[in-house]
Every structure is written in C-alpha cells, then in structure tokens.
Chains A and B, each alone.
Chain A
Amino acid sequence: MKIHEYQAKELFRAQGIPVPPGEVAESPSAAAELSRRYGKTVVIKAQVLVGGRGKAGGVKLAKDPQEARQHAESILGMDIKGLTVNKVLVTEAVDIAKEIYLGVIMDRASQQAVIMASAAGGVDIEEVARDRPEAIHRLTVDPLYGVLAFQSRALARELHDDPAVARQIAVIIEKLYAAFDETDASLAEINPLVVTPAGEVIAIDAKVNVDDSALFRQGEVEAMRDLSAEDPGETESRKMGLSFVRLSGNVGCIVNGAGLAMATMDLVKTYGGQPANFLDIGGSSNPDKVVTALKIILGDSSVRSIFINIFGGITRCDDVARGLVAALQQVEQVPPVVVRLTGTNETEALDILKQVDITTAATMDDGVKKAIELAH
C-alpha cells in the first residue's frame, strides 16, 4: 500500500526526523492561507501516489499568498500519470547546499532490509543505480540487531565530510530504519535529504510503501489509505478478497490464481487482443466472488467481451458456474462471455452453464481466441 508524501512525513516527524513545517490544502484559498501563516516562501506539492510529480509540473515555489493561490489552482485537478490531484502539500521552502539520497528497502536477494544512500541525491535514484552504481552505498541490516551505531556512523561519513553534519545524518539513518521497521514498510525513502547552507539536515521529501500482508497489524497506516486516489474497482475487489488491476483494453478477464491471470492477459495480447484487466478471484472461490468480479468488470464501459478462465484445483468449477449464472441473472447488458473451466466438478459446471447464454471453450488458447473475436 502506498501513502502520500504528507502522510509519510507525519510518520517521519513522529520518529524525530527533521521535516519542514507543512500542511495539506484542498483548495487554492486554503493554500494561500497556509502561505500567509508561514510568512515565507513555500513549496506547493501535488499529493498523488505516483513518482515524477516535479517533471509533470506538480511542484512549484510560491513567494507569497497570491502565488500560492495561483499555483494551487493550477496543480489541484491536474492529471499526473492518470491520477487526479485532489490535495497539495504547502510546506516551507528550504535552502539547499547539498542533496542526499537515503532509502530503506526490503531486499529480495539478501532477504534482509538494505539501507541505500548516495551523496548524489535529488535525482532519479534508479538512474544513478544504472549509470553510476559505485555512487550508491549499501548497508545490509540484520533484523535481529537493527542498525548498529558504528554502521550508521560509517555510512553518514561517506555522505558528508563535515563531522557535525554527518552526526545528524547518522541519527536520521537510524530513525528512518526505525520508521521502516515499525510500519512494516517495503520502502521508506527520503529523496532528497537536504543539507542547508547553515549545516542543518532536513528531509524535504518522503515516500513510504507498506507491505499489504502486514496491514492486519498496522491499523494506523491502514487508516491513511486514500480511497479517492484508488480505482473504485480496486477498492471494491480488495473488500471482497479479490485482486484487481485495471488496464486499458477491451477483453475483460476473470481468472483463478495470479500467475494464470497474468498468463491469460499475456495470451490475449499475443493473439492480437487487449486485456482490460487483471483479476484473480483467488483459490477457494465462492459464487459471491464471481458476482463481484463480473460487476467490477462491467463497471468498465470499454469492455466488449469477457473471458473466464478457471483451472479448478481447489476451486470447484461448479461453484464458479453457479456464481456466474447468478451474476448473469443480476446484471443487465452483459457483453459476450466465454468460459473455460477445467478440473474439479467440470462436468457439473458445464451442465449448470447450459442455463445461460455463454460460449464455452475447451482450452485456454481456444477461449482467448473466441473472446477476442467477440470483442471486435
């Protein structure tokens, strides 16, 4: 789960990481009011759950309330990579002498948290990793010990020559790891961590992604979820325990299992169609899930046909068939549906499906081809 910059900054602030004063505004007048209150130059920053806000024109400096109002007006409602900006963060501008990158990720290869840091901050860190990997310092953290003092001291020293500044950075490294660890994050990042001309160290940006599997014990973070920043289909599917991602095509897909769902989307593309979505109805499916899945897909008016691909291992094909019949009876104006069911109780399922007007397919290839044809 992703959270906004202003929310990540709240987590950092609670941890004791220096963050400039700032508040969220949802209207130009509120932004102007905040600018008036701070009485100095502020930065107006689009709050959307995607990177590249600066390049998209979603981050602007404002000298006075008048400018703050203008910038907020242009940024609010802006579309950044398909997401609408509903909120801006109005935060005090900071003088910059040096920019540092600092991030903690859960590293798959070492199976431990890794702190990544670079004196080349403020830029796209993936570019640095690709072009100048030697400019990134890595510190693997043993989960039993956390960050040891000598480790953060040594890493901070690599990032700044001034001992007084390095001391502040070392403390921030430990606090960033604490924030990462306590929130079950998969990523906690400060880019950039700024050193001011006066030698103060401040986090002027913040990014935190939290492990979805840990949300059951991260109530405070879960409460930060911004439903307005999410596809409504994704929200609804999550409530039903389905996994859904919207794509831009016209062949809707309902599949059991994530890998098979991805392979089904790929096959649609291979045979010249465009998948409309990824939708995994999970292992032990019940008829209600199929009803929800169908309704979510039908919420997308660009869907011209639907392919249902079920490989019944644990999933009983007759359950899916019953759910499908119920769903088709509940929803009007369903585009053509192609069903492929294999596995447990397959024969019963095919019998049940005779009640409704759908196309059946013997194999995945066959089903995909039929669904593409019907989408034309």
Chain B
Amino acid sequence: MSILIGKDTRLVVQGITGRDGSFHSAQMLAYGTNLAAGVTPGKGGGRFEDRIPIFDTVRRAVQETGANTSIIYVRAPFAPDAICEAADAGIGFIVCITEGVPVKDMARVLPYVRSRGSRLLGPNCPGIVAPGDKVKVGILPTAIFKAGSVGVVSRSGTLTYELVFQLTSNGVGQSTCVGIGGDPLIGTNFIDILQMFEEDSETKAIVLIGEIGGTDEQEAAGFIVKNLSKPVVAFIAGQTAPEGKRMGHAGAIVSGASGTAKEKIEAFEKAGIAVARIPSEIAPLLKKTSSAVSG
C-alpha cells in the first residue's frame, strides 16, 4: 500500500490546457496514473490528447468521471479559488503545485478545505509518487524512483529528486515520496505524513527532508519520539543560510535565532533521530537503522 494515492486514484487536472498542466498531464499518463478528467473554465467539451474529457467545472468532472483526486497547475492569483472549487466538489485529496500563492489567501483557504473534509498537499510542492503502484500526482521525474519500503517526506523539490536518486542508486526503494511544499502555510505537514507512514504496512523506514524556517521539523522530532515505531533518518538543508534572507522558498527564512538548521538538527539529535550531515550519508544511515531496507 502507498499513502494518499494508489490504484484507486482517479485524477482530475485543474489547468490541463496550460503549458505546465498539459506537459505534466502527459507525463503522469505515461507513468501509469489514472487521469480521468481535466478542467479548464471555458474549454469544457474538448479532449486532452483526444481521449481525456475536459470540463468547465470540477463538480462536473466529478459527476461525469468519479474523480477523487485533483492536481492544480493554475497561476498563483487563481490557485486559491481552484483549491476551494476542488474541495467544494467533494475531491478528497487536492495537490497544489502552484508557487507564489499569497500567504493571506492560504490563511482563508485552509479552513475552507478542512470544512469540506478534504486534504490539501502544498501549495508550492512537487506532488507525490507511489513507485509500487506506478502512480504520480505531481511533477517529480519518475525515472529516479524504485519501488521499495522507504517513505520519503520533504519540503523541497529538486533536493528531493537528488536524495531519491541517491537512494535508488544505492538500491534503496521507496514506498511513497511526498513533497509537502516550501510555503509558510501548507495543507499537510510533516506530522500528518509521518502518521500515515507509521500506519502504512509497506513503509518500513522514513526519510524526512527539512530546511530552514519555522518549527515544523522541531515539532516533527517531538512527534516521532512519541508516536513512531519506524526508524527515521533526517536531513536539513540551509546550514549556511544567513539570517533574514528568503532562500528561494517563501517559507525558508531564518528569523532571529528561530528556524535555523542548527536548531532543527539539534531537535532531531536530542530525540535520538539519525541526522545525515550530507546527502550521501542518508542511504548508509538508513541501512544501519533498518534491516528492512533492502540494497
């Protein structure tokens, strides 16, 4: 079993006719994702690649195709509305790839999503891949994955690709790889995913990839000690980041003494969680902490 996505995933792509939306829709189809429908307001009635039906609204897409998962590629000013539309249409799991959504909008959108009983991943995230089921809802390059038993959760995009690539190169396969996003306000945090990995029988060990800014990693460290039986290896990016500067991601800012990589690494070490100092240490540490990890 994978978490959040799998064989039952029926995906609707919001913004399917845009440049990014159409490119990644083709990639997801090629990997094996069950792409049920697309949505672009004003383009309903058309078809993507001559076969996937396009609708004007998410509600219509759900009614006609039974879509249960959505991915959003629309531009930042329109992404908050797209998230709410998906939640209101009864989509249970919404992935928002869009970068640069105003934080104030997310403060309004997150309670809305929760009130409809939906779960949001992102925004500003690379999405999620389940290599065993060959399902991808996102923009991650699928060539780097290998089916296996390590759950990966990360705030980053390309750093995740790099680390997964290193795992695969070392013979360590993954159960599910989840990018939670680099923004200050996100729908799903480390703790949510850690809990799901704990309950997932396929996942035997976990890699957590954090970065500077906020205190999510510190909270995750506390959660792991109390609630997780599976071994975790952590990696934190941004040890050389100066204070007060936004390091690309909107959420990656060290403010005062808070949010530093040092503080986060100490939180994990204090909790007895293995921390890789450099990316290439992750695979060896995993093999050391878990006999269940193959390779």
Contacts and interface: CB of A to CB of B under 8 A. Distances in A.
B241 interface: yes
B158 A143 contact: no
A144 B248 CA distance: 30
A255 B279 CA distance: 15
Contacts of A363: 280
B108 interface: yes
A233 to B, nearest CB: 12
A106 B103 contact: yes
Best-surrounded residue of B77, B108, B158, B244 (most CB of chain A within 10 A): B158
Contact of A213 (B102, B241, B277): B102
B240 A311 contact: no
Contact of A108 (B156, B215, B247, B280): B215
Given A108-B216, A108-B251, A263-B237, A113 B157 contact: no
A245 interface: yes
A111 B100 contact: no
A265 B249 contact: no
A256 B279 CA distance: 16
Contacts of B182: 258-259
Nearest to B106: A111
Interface in A329-368: 342-344, 363-365
Contacts of A255: 158
B104 A106 contact: yes
A278 B103 contact: no
Interface in B138-166: 139-141, 143, 154-162, 165
A212 B184 CA distance: 12
Interface of B is mostly: loop
Nearest to A271: B278
A201 B163 CA distance: 54
B222 interface: no
Contacts of A123: none
Nearest to A244: B248
Nearest to B213: A108
A131 interface: no
Nearest to B154: A259
Contacts of A112: 107
Given A126-B257, A212-B246, A259-B154, A269 B104 contact: no
Given A267-B279, A270-B278, A313-B161, A278 B184 contact: no
Given A143-B104, A247-B242, A278 B248 contact: yes
Given A106-B103, A106-B104, A126-B257, A262 B162 contact: no
A315 B23 CA distance: 12
A211 interface: yes
B172 interface: no
B48 to A, nearest CB: 19
A245 B100 CA distance: 18
A364 B156 contact: no
A358 to B, nearest CB: 21
A266 interface: yes
Contacts of A181: 104
Interface residues of A, number: 54
A50 B211 CA distance: 23
Interface string B34-75: 000000000000000000000000000000000000000000
A275 B103 contact: no
Interface in A86-102: none
B157 A262 contact: no
A353 to B, nearest CB: 20
Interface string A175-195: 000000100101000000000
Contact of A257 (B76, B107, B158): B158
Contacts of B111: 143-144
A312 B108 contact: no
Contacts of B157: 257-260, 283, 313
A101 B106 CA distance: 27
B207 interface: no
B288 interface: no
B212 interface: yes
A284 B73 CA distance: 14
A95 to B, nearest CB: 30
Given A186-B103, A343-B141, A364-B279, A211 B156 contact: no
Contact of B102 (A144, A184, A256, A270): A184
B75 to A, nearest CB: 10
Q: Which 10 A-B pairs have the closest CB atoms?
A: A258-B248, A259-B156, A257-B158, A259-B159, A214-B102, A313-B141, A262-B237, A260-B158, A280-B248, A262-B238
Given A245-B242, A268-B240, 18 more contacts: A112-B107, A126-B256, A143-B108, A143-B111, A213-B103, A256-B158, A257-B158, A257-B159, A258-B156, A258-B157, A258-B249, A259-B249, A262-B237, A263-B162, A265-B241, A311-B162, A311-B165, A343-B143
Interface of A: 50, 106, 108-109, 111-113, 126, 130, 143-144, 181, 184, 186, 211-214, 216-217, 243, 245, 247, 255-263, 265-270, 275, 278, 280, 283-284, 311-315, 342-344, 363-365
